[in-house]
Amino acid sequence: MKINRYEGYDLDLLIQEAKKELGEDIKILSYEVETQKSILPFKKRKKYILFVEVPTAEDGFMEILSKEEKSHELDRFLEQIEKMIDKKIDSLKRSESSLLPVPPHSGTNTHINEDLSEFTGDSVELINLLIKKDVEPAAAKMIVKEACGLDIDTNKFDLSTTFFKEALIKGIKKYIKFTGPLKIQKGGLKVFAFVGPTGVGKTTNLFKIASELVIKQNLKVAVISIDTFKVGAIQQARAYANILNIPFFAVTDSKNLKKTLSNMSDIDVVLIDTVGRSHYDYWRLGEMKEILGGGSDLMEILLVISCNYKNSEAMEIVNRYRTFFPISSIFFTKIDETYKPGILVNLPLKSEIPVSFISTGQRVPEDIRVLNSERIADYLLGE
């Protein structure tokens, strides 16, 4: 991948320059902001550095579309697609009459073709169960193998534990890291920022944490919101803060965030609520990174992920967010909205990021739990 770099003092002009050079459909990777001294005393100006991906010269489907001389290739390609679709429709029509309705979530027609030749007995049953719960096959085999011994008769791996849950706990403990409850001492300011895509429940779950800290741990808590974009976001957060009788602030830039934090010497914990941003919106993520840059160097950042995301999309979110923020843990939400919670294993195992909490519903403050190996095992087994 080739990347072009543009520098200047007007970000919009830089984007226009990139579009003029590379075309309208440019892909902005990120941008940086440098503060430079101006000729005038006490006045500073911002210099922007824009990074844009340069399209490669490889001939893909979109390039065929753009080249008139290759239109005959496109015609042949579309003909092949039409034939494949027609063939698939005919196949479905022939088999439709023989299909019986399947109860929701039963999974009776799930056919697993994964190679489990090195396993036998209960280990095979447990691996198949995990795969049906959307645990990736490689991850399922890794976890189960940790609780296996070698069967003498077959020379294959089988469970060395009596119960499935016991086997899962052993494997999960081996491969997944847990933060446990938030570690906070009175008199020492701790700052936690909640980041993540739109609609994952950052604000609601932030105040579940705040309620726990105020009511059960008797800590002095303050909330700062930088979500000034979503309609009603500030009002919702302020209402929660008023119920808990804790300080609430809204800031829009890094300077005000730094100033606000510097005036909190009597506070034990500060929770920062952020605006939901698409993981594909590098520009907005860069803005949010700049604002959070005014926070404490000891700030911990929790990435909030919904359990009803597909595994591939969830991993994409993690990878893109971690290029902007030092993620300290993953906070899972909406476990009550999925019956295939394989993401609880796949994401921390592949990303190697510890997991912290899980939201079990909408109620504040009841529906939240600290994640551990036992709870993940329960969710995977449907308990």
Radius of gyration of the chain (CA): 26
Q: Are strands 368-370 and 269-273 parallel, antiparallel or unpaired?
A: unpaired
Write down the pLDDT at residue 62.
Answer: 43
Q: Is the pLDDT of residue 85 over 90?
A: no
pLDDT digits (tens, 9 = 90+) for 224-269: 998 766 656 788 888 889 999 999 999 988 899 999 998 888 999 9
**Domain ranges for the chain:** 2-54, 122-175, 190-381
pLDDT over 70, % of the chain: 78
Does the pLDDT of residue 13 top 80, yes or no?
yes
Residue 36 has pLDDT above 60, yes or no: yes
Q: Which residue has the higher pLDDT, 58 or 114?
A: 114
Cβ-based neighbours of 66, under 8 Å, separated by 6 or more:
none
Chain position carrying tokens 């006490």: 42
- The residue-averaged pLDDT of 328-332 equals 96
Determine what percent of the chain is predicted with pLDDT higher than 90: 48
Quote the pLDDT of residue 51.
75
Could you tell me the pLDDT band of residue 351, with boundaries at 50, 70 and 90?
Answer: very high
pLDDT category of residue 86 using cuts at 50, 70 and 90: low
User: What are phi and psi for residue 301, nearest 5 degrees?
Assistant: -115, 120
Which among 378, 290, 302 is positioned nearest to 341, based on CA atoms?
Answer: 378
Q: In one letter, which amino acid is 357? A: F
Minimum mean pLDDT among 84-88, 188-192, 363-367: which range? 84-88
Q: What pLDDT is recorded for position 82? A: 67
190-381 carries CATH number 3.40.50.300 = yes
**Overall average pLDDT of the 102-128 stretch:** 72
Confidence of residue 52 (pLDDT cuts 50, 70, 90): confident
**Sequence-ordered strand ranges (E) for 189-258:** 190-195, 221-225, 248-250
As a whole number of angstroms, the distance between CA 193 and CA 154 comes to 52
Closest CA to 327 of 295, 353, 357: 353
pLDDT at 287: 85
CA distance 366 to 369: 9
Report whether 330 contacts 122 (CB < 8 A).
no
State pLDDT tens for residues 189-236.
899 999 999 889 999 999 999 999 999 899 999 999 987 666 567 888
Task: Specify the pTM.
Answer: 0.69
SS3 329: strand
At 275-308, the pLDDT tens digits run: 877 776 777 788 888 888 866 677 899 999 999 9
State residue 77's pLDDT score.
Answer: 60
Predicted confidence (pLDDT) per residue in 122-173, tens digit: 999 999 999 999 999 999 999 999 999 998 889 999 999 989 999 999 999 9
Q: Would you state the pLDDT for residue 296?
A: 66
